[in-house]
Structure 1
Amino acid sequence: MKRETLFLKIVVILIGLPVLALCIFWLPTIPNKTAGDYPVYLVYPVLIGVYVTVMAYFVALYQALRLLSYIDKNKAFSELSIKALKNIIYCAIIISILYGAGMPLIYEMAQEADAPGLVVLGLVMTCAPIVIAVFAAVLQKLLKNAIEIKSENDLTV
Protein backbone atom coordinates (compact mmCIF):
# COMPACT_ATOMS: atom_id res chain seq x y z
CA MET A 1 0.00 0.00 0.00
CA LYS A 2 2.78 2.44 0.77
CA ARG A 3 3.97 2.61 -2.83
CA GLU A 4 0.55 3.66 -4.13
CA THR A 5 0.05 6.22 -1.40
CA LEU A 6 3.56 7.54 -1.94
CA PHE A 7 2.69 8.19 -5.57
CA LEU A 8 -0.54 9.92 -4.55
CA LYS A 9 1.27 12.03 -1.95
CA ILE A 10 3.77 13.14 -4.59
CA VAL A 11 0.87 14.00 -6.92
CA VAL A 12 -0.83 16.05 -4.19
CA ILE A 13 2.39 17.95 -3.54
CA LEU A 14 2.93 18.50 -7.27
CA ILE A 15 -0.61 19.86 -7.55
CA GLY A 16 0.14 22.37 -4.82
CA LEU A 17 3.52 23.60 -6.07
CA PRO A 18 2.33 25.55 -9.15
CA VAL A 19 -0.37 27.25 -7.09
CA LEU A 20 2.19 28.17 -4.46
CA ALA A 21 4.51 29.53 -7.14
CA LEU A 22 1.70 31.63 -8.61
CA CYS A 23 0.85 33.01 -5.17
CA ILE A 24 4.45 33.96 -4.47
CA PHE A 25 5.57 35.29 -7.82
CA TRP A 26 2.55 36.25 -9.95
CA LEU A 27 -0.31 37.37 -7.67
CA PRO A 28 1.64 40.15 -5.90
CA THR A 29 2.38 41.78 -9.26
CA ILE A 30 -1.27 41.99 -10.32
CA PRO A 31 -2.05 45.38 -8.71
CA ASN A 32 0.92 47.00 -10.48
CA LYS A 33 0.13 45.41 -13.84
CA THR A 34 -3.57 46.27 -13.75
CA ALA A 35 -3.24 49.78 -12.32
CA GLY A 36 -4.49 51.50 -15.47
CA ASP A 37 -6.83 48.78 -16.71
CA TYR A 38 -9.15 48.23 -13.74
CA PRO A 39 -10.35 50.43 -10.89
CA VAL A 40 -8.82 49.73 -7.50
CA TYR A 41 -12.20 48.76 -6.04
CA LEU A 42 -12.20 45.77 -8.42
CA VAL A 43 -8.60 44.59 -8.16
CA TYR A 44 -8.03 44.32 -4.42
CA PRO A 45 -11.24 42.45 -3.49
CA VAL A 46 -10.54 39.93 -6.23
CA LEU A 47 -6.93 39.58 -5.06
CA ILE A 48 -8.01 39.07 -1.45
CA GLY A 49 -10.61 36.54 -2.56
CA VAL A 50 -8.01 34.61 -4.53
CA TYR A 51 -5.67 34.48 -1.53
CA VAL A 52 -8.47 33.25 0.76
CA THR A 53 -9.45 30.55 -1.71
CA VAL A 54 -5.81 29.51 -2.04
CA MET A 55 -5.64 29.09 1.73
CA ALA A 56 -8.72 26.85 1.62
CA TYR A 57 -7.14 24.96 -1.28
CA PHE A 58 -3.99 24.26 0.71
CA VAL A 59 -6.01 23.17 3.74
CA ALA A 60 -7.82 20.70 1.47
CA LEU A 61 -4.51 19.43 0.10
CA TYR A 62 -3.20 19.01 3.65
CA GLN A 63 -6.32 17.05 4.57
CA ALA A 64 -5.77 14.84 1.50
CA LEU A 65 -2.22 14.16 2.68
CA ARG A 66 -3.53 13.31 6.14
CA LEU A 67 -6.07 10.95 4.60
CA LEU A 68 -3.30 9.22 2.66
CA SER A 69 -1.22 8.89 5.83
CA TYR A 70 -4.21 7.27 7.57
CA ILE A 71 -4.35 4.76 4.73
CA ASP A 72 -0.61 4.06 5.25
CA LYS A 73 -1.22 3.42 8.95
CA ASN A 74 -4.19 1.12 8.24
CA LYS A 75 -6.55 3.66 9.81
CA ALA A 76 -8.51 4.28 6.62
CA PHE A 77 -11.73 3.07 8.22
CA SER A 78 -11.71 5.42 11.16
CA GLU A 79 -13.34 8.60 12.35
CA LEU A 80 -10.14 10.46 11.49
CA SER A 81 -10.68 9.70 7.81
CA ILE A 82 -14.28 10.87 8.02
CA LYS A 83 -13.11 14.11 9.66
CA ALA A 84 -10.50 14.67 6.93
CA LEU A 85 -13.15 14.18 4.24
CA LYS A 86 -15.47 16.56 6.08
CA ASN A 87 -12.74 19.21 6.13
CA ILE A 88 -12.18 18.72 2.40
CA ILE A 89 -15.91 19.23 1.86
CA TYR A 90 -15.85 22.44 3.91
CA CYS A 91 -12.86 23.77 1.97
CA ALA A 92 -14.54 23.04 -1.36
CA ILE A 93 -17.72 24.77 -0.22
CA ILE A 94 -15.75 27.80 0.98
CA ILE A 95 -13.98 28.08 -2.38
CA SER A 96 -17.24 27.77 -4.27
CA ILE A 97 -19.00 30.36 -2.10
CA LEU A 98 -16.13 32.84 -2.41
CA TYR A 99 -16.00 32.57 -6.19
CA GLY A 100 -19.80 32.69 -6.38
CA ALA A 101 -19.83 35.82 -4.25
CA GLY A 102 -17.06 37.30 -6.37
CA MET A 103 -18.86 36.69 -9.65
CA PRO A 104 -20.23 40.26 -9.81
CA LEU A 105 -16.66 41.57 -9.52
CA ILE A 106 -15.45 39.10 -12.12
CA TYR A 107 -18.31 40.11 -14.40
CA GLU A 108 -17.42 43.79 -13.95
CA MET A 109 -13.76 43.07 -14.73
CA ALA A 110 -14.82 41.14 -17.84
CA GLN A 111 -16.90 44.12 -18.96
CA GLU A 112 -14.01 46.50 -18.39
CA ALA A 113 -11.55 44.37 -20.35
CA ASP A 114 -14.07 43.06 -22.90
CA ALA A 115 -13.05 39.52 -22.00
CA PRO A 116 -16.04 37.17 -21.62
CA GLY A 117 -13.65 34.31 -20.86
CA LEU A 118 -13.24 35.69 -17.35
CA VAL A 119 -16.89 34.97 -16.63
CA VAL A 120 -16.51 31.39 -17.87
CA LEU A 121 -13.41 30.98 -15.72
CA GLY A 122 -15.33 32.32 -12.73
CA LEU A 123 -18.15 29.85 -13.37
CA VAL A 124 -15.71 26.96 -13.62
CA MET A 125 -14.05 28.05 -10.38
CA THR A 126 -17.50 28.16 -8.76
CA CYS A 127 -18.76 24.81 -10.04
CA ALA A 128 -15.62 22.64 -9.86
CA PRO A 129 -15.37 22.76 -6.04
CA ILE A 130 -19.04 21.76 -5.82
CA VAL A 131 -18.24 18.61 -7.82
CA ILE A 132 -15.33 17.88 -5.49
CA ALA A 133 -17.52 18.45 -2.42
CA VAL A 134 -20.19 16.07 -3.74
CA PHE A 135 -17.57 13.43 -4.52
CA ALA A 136 -16.04 13.79 -1.05
CA ALA A 137 -19.51 13.60 0.53
CA VAL A 138 -20.22 10.35 -1.32
CA LEU A 139 -16.87 8.95 -0.15
CA GLN A 140 -17.64 10.08 3.39
CA LYS A 141 -21.02 8.33 3.32
CA LEU A 142 -19.47 5.14 1.95
CA LEU A 143 -16.76 5.28 4.59
CA LYS A 144 -19.34 5.70 7.37
CA ASN A 145 -21.27 2.69 6.08
CA ALA A 146 -18.07 0.64 5.86
CA ILE A 147 -17.16 1.57 9.43
CA GLU A 148 -20.62 0.57 10.64
CA ILE A 149 -20.39 -2.78 8.83
CA LYS A 150 -16.89 -3.34 10.23
CA SER A 151 -18.03 -2.60 13.78
CA GLU A 152 -21.00 -4.98 13.41
CA ASN A 153 -18.69 -7.71 12.15
CA ASP A 154 -16.28 -7.09 15.04
CA LEU A 155 -19.19 -7.49 17.50
CA THR A 156 -20.34 -10.68 15.78
CA VAL A 157 -17.01 -12.45 16.21
Structure 2
Amino acid sequence: MNTDDCDELLNYLEQYTSGEAKSIVSSYGYLNADKGYPAAMKELKERYGDGEIIVSAFIEKALDWPTIKPDDPKALDKFTVFLSECEHAVESDVLDNKENLKRLVMKLPYSHQEKFRALVQSLRDIGEPIKFANLVCLLKRE
Protein backbone atom coordinates (compact mmCIF):
# COMPACT_ATOMS: atom_id res chain seq x y z
CA MET A 1 0.00 0.00 0.00
CA ASN A 2 1.49 3.36 -0.96
CA THR A 3 1.73 6.43 1.26
CA ASP A 4 -1.15 8.25 -0.47
CA ASP A 5 -3.49 5.29 0.12
CA CYS A 6 -2.45 5.10 3.77
CA ASP A 7 -2.93 8.84 4.18
CA GLU A 8 -6.42 8.64 2.69
CA LEU A 9 -7.36 5.65 4.85
CA LEU A 10 -6.05 7.31 8.01
CA ASN A 11 -8.15 10.38 7.19
CA TYR A 12 -11.24 8.22 6.65
CA LEU A 13 -10.65 6.41 9.93
CA GLU A 14 -10.49 9.71 11.75
CA GLN A 15 -13.57 10.99 9.95
CA TYR A 16 -15.73 7.92 10.61
CA THR A 17 -14.79 7.19 14.19
CA SER A 18 -15.87 8.92 17.36
CA GLY A 19 -15.06 9.01 21.05
CA GLU A 20 -12.15 6.91 22.24
CA ALA A 21 -11.63 5.29 18.83
CA LYS A 22 -11.28 8.72 17.21
CA SER A 23 -8.72 9.73 19.86
CA ILE A 24 -6.71 6.61 19.11
CA VAL A 25 -6.75 7.27 15.38
CA SER A 26 -5.91 10.96 15.88
CA SER A 27 -2.90 10.06 17.99
CA TYR A 28 -1.37 8.32 14.97
CA GLY A 29 -1.99 11.30 12.70
CA TYR A 30 1.40 12.75 13.63
CA LEU A 31 3.27 9.82 12.10
CA ASN A 32 3.91 9.29 8.43
CA ALA A 33 0.73 7.78 7.03
CA ASP A 34 2.45 4.57 5.89
CA LYS A 35 3.33 3.93 9.56
CA GLY A 36 0.38 5.67 11.22
CA TYR A 37 -2.43 3.85 9.41
CA PRO A 38 -1.18 0.29 10.13
CA ALA A 39 -0.41 1.25 13.73
CA ALA A 40 -3.87 2.80 14.22
CA MET A 41 -5.56 -0.25 12.70
CA LYS A 42 -3.49 -2.57 14.91
CA GLU A 43 -4.46 -0.71 18.06
CA LEU A 44 -8.13 -0.54 17.05
CA LYS A 45 -8.12 -4.28 16.40
CA GLU A 46 -6.43 -4.97 19.72
CA ARG A 47 -8.90 -2.79 21.63
CA TYR A 48 -12.12 -3.51 19.79
CA GLY A 49 -11.71 -7.04 18.54
CA ASP A 50 -10.87 -8.56 15.25
CA GLY A 51 -11.33 -7.05 11.84
CA GLU A 52 -14.78 -8.58 11.49
CA ILE A 53 -16.24 -5.78 13.61
CA ILE A 54 -14.75 -3.19 11.28
CA VAL A 55 -15.91 -5.10 8.20
CA SER A 56 -19.42 -5.34 9.62
CA ALA A 57 -19.53 -1.61 10.32
CA PHE A 58 -18.51 -0.75 6.74
CA ILE A 59 -21.02 -3.17 5.26
CA GLU A 60 -23.82 -1.96 7.51
CA LYS A 61 -23.16 1.66 6.62
CA ALA A 62 -23.02 0.85 2.90
CA LEU A 63 -26.26 -1.16 3.01
CA ASP A 64 -28.01 1.58 5.00
CA TRP A 65 -27.00 4.22 2.47
CA PRO A 66 -29.99 6.13 1.08
CA THR A 67 -31.08 5.53 -2.50
CA ILE A 68 -29.47 7.98 -4.90
CA LYS A 69 -31.70 10.06 -7.12
CA PRO A 70 -30.87 10.33 -10.84
CA ASP A 71 -30.40 14.10 -10.64
CA ASP A 72 -27.97 14.06 -7.71
CA PRO A 73 -24.39 13.62 -8.98
CA LYS A 74 -22.93 14.80 -5.64
CA ALA A 75 -24.71 12.00 -3.79
CA LEU A 76 -23.45 9.50 -6.37
CA ASP A 77 -19.92 10.81 -5.95
CA LYS A 78 -20.16 10.60 -2.16
CA PHE A 79 -21.39 6.99 -2.40
CA THR A 80 -18.58 6.15 -4.83
CA VAL A 81 -15.98 7.59 -2.46
CA PHE A 82 -17.41 5.60 0.43
CA LEU A 83 -17.46 2.35 -1.58
CA SER A 84 -13.87 3.01 -2.61
CA GLU A 85 -13.03 3.47 1.06
CA CYS A 86 -14.71 0.14 1.82
CA GLU A 87 -12.69 -1.53 -0.92
CA HIS A 88 -9.42 -0.25 0.55
CA ALA A 89 -10.23 -0.72 4.21
CA VAL A 90 -11.86 -4.15 4.06
CA GLU A 91 -9.35 -6.71 2.87
CA SER A 92 -11.85 -9.50 2.58
CA ASP A 93 -13.98 -11.11 -0.10
CA VAL A 94 -17.07 -10.57 2.08
CA LEU A 95 -17.76 -7.48 -0.04
CA ASP A 96 -18.18 -9.76 -3.06
CA ASN A 97 -21.30 -11.33 -1.52
CA LYS A 98 -23.93 -11.37 -4.29
CA GLU A 99 -26.82 -10.32 -2.07
CA ASN A 100 -24.87 -7.36 -0.70
CA LEU A 101 -23.85 -6.34 -4.22
CA LYS A 102 -27.48 -6.48 -5.36
CA ARG A 103 -28.57 -4.31 -2.45
CA LEU A 104 -25.81 -1.78 -3.16
CA VAL A 105 -26.66 -1.62 -6.85
CA MET A 106 -30.32 -0.97 -5.98
CA LYS A 107 -29.18 2.27 -4.29
CA LEU A 108 -28.00 3.61 -7.64
CA PRO A 109 -30.04 5.52 -10.20
CA TYR A 110 -31.65 3.19 -12.74
CA SER A 111 -29.22 4.11 -15.54
CA HIS A 112 -26.28 3.05 -13.39
CA GLN A 113 -28.05 -0.15 -12.39
CA GLU A 114 -28.40 -0.96 -16.08
CA LYS A 115 -24.72 -0.27 -16.73
CA PHE A 116 -23.75 -2.60 -13.90
CA ARG A 117 -26.10 -5.32 -15.19
CA ALA A 118 -24.43 -5.03 -18.61
CA LEU A 119 -21.02 -5.32 -16.97
CA VAL A 120 -22.15 -8.39 -15.01
CA GLN A 121 -23.37 -10.03 -18.20
CA SER A 122 -20.11 -9.34 -20.03
CA LEU A 123 -18.13 -10.79 -17.10
CA ARG A 124 -20.33 -13.89 -17.06
CA ASP A 125 -19.86 -14.29 -20.82
CA ILE A 126 -16.09 -14.60 -20.33
CA GLY A 127 -16.37 -16.68 -17.16
CA GLU A 128 -15.10 -14.03 -14.76
CA PRO A 129 -16.51 -13.68 -11.23
CA ILE A 130 -18.45 -10.57 -10.27
CA LYS A 131 -16.56 -8.61 -7.65
CA PHE A 132 -17.24 -5.59 -5.46
CA ALA A 133 -14.23 -3.99 -7.18
CA ASN A 134 -16.14 -4.15 -10.50
CA LEU A 135 -18.89 -1.98 -9.04
CA VAL A 136 -16.41 0.52 -7.60
CA CYS A 137 -14.52 0.72 -10.89
CA LEU A 138 -17.72 1.34 -12.86
CA LEU A 139 -18.82 4.10 -10.48
CA LYS A 140 -15.41 5.78 -10.57
CA ARG A 141 -15.62 5.91 -14.37
CA GLU A 142 -19.04 7.48 -14.17
Q: Which has the higher helix share?
A: 1
Answer with 1 or 2: which has the greater Rg: 1
TM-score, with length taken from structure 2: 0.31
Whose RCO is larger (CA < 8 A, sep 6+)? 1
TM-score, with length taken from structure 1: 0.29
